Amino acid sequence: MRGFKKYLLVEFKLFQREPEALFFTLIFPLILLFVFGSIYGNQPTPFFGGRGSVDVSVPAYISIIICITGFMNIPVSVAYEREKGILKRLRATPIQPQTILTGWITMYFVVTMLGALLLIGAGKIFYNLRFDGNVVNFFIAFTLSTISFLSLGFMIASLAPTGRTASIMGTIIFFPMMFLSGATFPLQMMPETVRQISRLLPMTYMVQLLQGLWFGELWVEHLKEVIILAGILLVSALVAAKTFRWE
């Protein structure tokens, strides 16, 4: 436990030295909130079922934070550490591989949750954000979504030969999903062709699950999303375990 705490502290310090990661995880979602919030406000409208634009957008923006961590932060960080020989040296220390993996997951989960809390706080303060769900249920949905996409991030990091490749792979995957999954613009506003494409994207199911639990819908209404996210977690974790390289 002592080794875990020290390693976790080191990872937090390293993350703080990455301005790009800090910006996209903590600041970029707030920019989206303020830009679109200033345009559309948060007045209830029949188009969103009696909810405001911000009410619908915040859980979707939380999915963006999760995706940024999974597709941009983890692959680049892990791949660069392997490329620079840091993972090889860590493997030679008394710290167990399980401790290193747990440290990574814990650190990125906490950072993702911090970004979500900042977004929720800003939405509440500036736009009277409404939450109709159950806090525990939403946290469980958030945890499932985050762990699933963290696993995808580790899979990309395992497959990418270099940090540059990991960055390119993460960017290519992330940005189309952000715009086509309903995370940036609600799918209700999209043409049918885009909606059909969105059904092929894992981020779409995370957005739908987080929005549904945010609105107070029941788990039984989102079994499809839960199964898909659990499947993503299982498959990506297995692939990452089989292909992960320390050097």
Rounded Cα distance between 158 and 153, Å, is 9
Which range is least confidently modeled, 59-63, 131-135, 167-171, 226-230?
A: 167-171
Q: What pLDDT is attached to residue 139?
A: 97
Give the residue-averaged pLDDT of 58-76. Answer: 93
Residues 6+ apart with CB under 8 A from 54: 33, 36, 37, 40, 41, 42, 123, 127, 129
73, pLDDT greater than 60: yes
pLDDT grade, residue 1 (50/70/90)? low
Q: Using an 8 Å Cβ cutoff, are 205 and 185 in contact?
A: no
For residue 45, give the 3-state DSSP assignment. strand
Tens of pLDDT, residue by residue over 94-130, are 767 777 788 888 889 999 999 999 999 999 999 999 9
Q: Using an 8 Å Cβ cutoff, are 156 and 75 in contact?
A: yes
Tens of pLDDT, residue by residue over 127-184, are 999 999 999 999 999 999 999 999 999 999 888 888 788 888 988 999 999 999 999 9
Rounded Cα distance between 169 and 159, Å, is 10
